[in-house]
Structure 1
Amino acid sequence: MAYSLEQLQIFAAIAKAGSFSEAARQMGRTQSSVSTAIANLEADWNVLLFDRSTKVPVMTESGRRLLREAHDVMESCLLLDGHAQSLGEANEARITLAIEVPYNVLMPLLLAFAQQFPFVDLDIRNSLDGDVSAQVHDGGVQLGVAFSQPQYERSIGFVQMGKLVMSHVVAREHPLAAPQRVSFAQLRKHRRLAFSALGERLPSSEYLAAPRCWRAVSYTAMLEMVKAGIGWATLPRTMILRELEEGQLVELRLEAYPNTDWLVAVDLLWNKGQRLSAGALWLKNELANFKVREKDSAGLWTAF
């Protein structure tokens, strides 16, 4: 491969300008240098790119087909330059982020990050990798978004991002779906489905203990088991709106809290002693200012 990126740029410039002379003028080159570059490119590829039998050279069918690939190569070179510049500006090639809350809550911000730092990869961890605050404390992840805990290690910096509604739900055919109000005693008579990563860490979750309890490492698994009627569960309301609207799931109204949704705060976590790259620092600042909120069962927005 003897041809150069410069030759491809000249090739594309001629195709866009419509003539050798106009392309040379736009590029600030002599017409002879442009003609020579194309002649050398044709020799390298052993194909005729322009038909010179007319007064104004016309691109051949082979030229038109190769032009598309030339544009792809030039686009790849631009991406390569951008990637190199990103690394040269001390942006890490990869940032680790642990997310305990439903992912859909953070999608707008993750999309903004992808646009702002197109060459920085995100390694997203979840509950399978252990407690989020422990991952941040140990340095396994740089940033974490998790349900608030009453106490963190001293090394952990945190800021509250907002609150999510946790809904106690069952399938519409489940026995608990019938009563208007459900007591803690009634809950304990039926199988509970719990999110493994949280255990009993959430405030007031001790009231929801049950003798029979199945644990799952993902909200998706819990949702499917609830829909199948295996038991009752406490799920983030934001991820079950469709199931509630369609009547697949029924929200339980607890006798002890008849008019109150269970609100759980969401925190952004970071290790105070860990230096963050430009990309990670941008993500941290944006997460700190990102407001996590949703509508509760009464249709009102949760407070910050």
Structure 2
Amino acid sequence: MQPNPTLDQLQVFKVVAEEGSFSGASRALNRAQSVISYTIANLEAQLELQLFERTGLRQPRLTEAGKTLLQDARRLLGDLDTIRARVAGLKQGLEAELSIALSVMVPSAAVIQVLHAFKVHFPSVAPVLNVGELGMVMNMVRDGTASIGIGTALDENDDRLEIERIGHSFMLPVAAQDHPLAMLNRPLALADVREETQLVVTDASGLTKGRDFNVLSYHTWRVGDIATKHELIRNGLGWGGLPAAVVRDDLRSGRLVHLDLKAYEQGEYPLYAIHRRAFPPGPAGRWMIDQFREILSRCPSKHEFNSRLEALREADLPQAAE
């Protein structure tokens, strides 16, 4: 007789594999650990395959067969989420409220432009805005706090999320105009910044735990948000990278200076629209994603932006770039 595993069994199998333990799956699914163990045992009996190695191990470990079948389980459960999403979309009317998680990397000019148009098109829908750093956007969408997220995607392999690229942003190394690095008035080497204090944002979401991005100095001050980092840099307490959208006016006025530091990676940071596959955005949310895509897709390339940055004293910076 052919095995006939249930979707619930596959869901439990997937969660045990991702959590790394039966106790972790128990907490994630809010079920007794004995129920989790019983479900996996029944699934292995049906398949006539051992999915986890347990003997002599503190935590279950996937067998080779388990690793192979996990891919199939993820695909099937992803298809189920797609079906649920389509059904929800067919049933769903206009949202009464739209919760949005926005990354600080999204240019404020783009946010204001979208919200002005949103107010005209959907006067009855109340937007709830949450602005944060790094992994906050993904976490808020993942746990259902936000219906949609606009920002960076630190984990593009989460089967629960639909992630679509809609634009990009830039980070620039800057310092106050009277900072020692700015006053060198020449291209900087790595040795120039090693002993200078660098301001670094700590990711409260935990998604980047153990990872640092463009941290080049031996001396760092860690802060909780971009706004604090921006203010400290503007007042000469260190140097660091800031979204170009945040420092645009400071660069134009001369209060901040762009540091010509080749060791600092100034590549494009992709910006994504993120939502849960099982709970797709309604008409207002879909409209907002499309509007952000239309605006952010017009951002200049890295080369174009750097060319305009070099001509900062003679030309204005683009509003929606950065």
* Interval containing the TM-score (normalised by the shorter chain): 0.5 to 0.7
How far does residue 216 in structure 1 lie from its aligned partner after superposition? 3.2
Tell me which residue corresponds to 1:155.
160
SS at match of 2:100: strand
Alignment of 1:94 with 2:97, yes or no, is: yes
- What letter matches 2:278 in structure 1? G
Alignment of 1:186 with 2:169, yes or no, is: no
| Pairing 1:42-191 to 2, within 5 Å after superposition | 90-100=93-103, 101=105, 102-127=107-132, 131-149=136-154, 151-179=156-184, 180-191=186-197
Q: Is the 8 A contact 2:175 2:181 kept in 1?
A: yes
Cα distance in 2 for partners of 1:200, 1:246 equals 35
Alignment of 1:223 with 2:226, yes or no, is: no
Report the structure number with the largest CA radius of gyration. 1
Relative distance call for 1:173 and 1:197 in structure 2 (3 A) is same
**Which range moves more in the overlay, 123-132 or 180-189?**
123-132
TM-score, normalised via structure 2 length: 0.57
How far does residue 129 in structure 1 lie from its aligned partner after superposition? 11
Relative distance call for 1:212 and 1:135 in structure 2 (3 A) is same
- What letter matches 2:102 in structure 1? I
Tell me which residue corresponds to 1:266.
271
Cα distance in 1 for partners of 2:214, 2:221 equals 17
Relative distance call for 1:106 and 1:157 in structure 2 (3 A) is same
SS at match of 2:287: helix
Q: Is the 8 A contact 1:98 1:126 kept in 2?
A: yes
**For each residue in 1:202-256, what CA deviation from the matched residue of structure 2 results, as whole angstroms up to 9, or x when unmatched?**
xx96442434323334333222111110001211112212211222111111144
Of 295, 308, 312 in structure 2, the residue corresponding to residue 299 of structure 1 is 308
- Identity of aligned pairs, percent? 22
Q: Is the 8 A contact 1:166 1:234 kept in 2?
A: yes
How far does residue 130 in structure 1 lie from its aligned partner after superposition? 6.1
**Structure 2 residues without counterparts, runs of 5 or longer:** 1-91, 310-317
SS at match of 1:98: strand
- What letter matches 1:232 in structure 2? W
Cα distance in 2 for partners of 1:132, 1:200 equals 11
SS at match of 1:125: strand
Relative distance call for 1:99 and 1:303 in structure 2 (3 A) is closer
- What letter matches 1:223 in structure 2? H
Cα distance in 1 for partners of 2:141, 2:157 equals 11
Tell me which residue corresponds to 2:258.
251
Tell me which residue corresponds to 1:240.
247
How far does residue 99 in structure 1 lie from its aligned partner after superposition? 0.5
- What is the root-mean-square deviation in Å for CA atoms of aligned residues? 3.2
Q: Is the 8 A contact 1:130 1:197 kept in 2?
A: yes
- What letter matches 1:298 in structure 2? S
Q: Is the 8 A contact 2:135 2:153 kept in 1?
A: no
Relative distance call for 1:185 and 1:148 in structure 2 (3 A) is farther
**Structure 1 residues without counterparts, runs of 5 or longer:** 1-88
**For each residue in 1:151-184, what CA deviation from the matched residue of structure 2 results, as whole angstroms up to 9, or x when unmatched?**
3411111121222221100011111113312233
How far does residue 128 in structure 1 lie from its aligned partner after superposition? 7.3
TM-score, normalised via structure 1 length: 0.61
How far does residue 138 in structure 1 lie from its aligned partner after superposition? 1.5
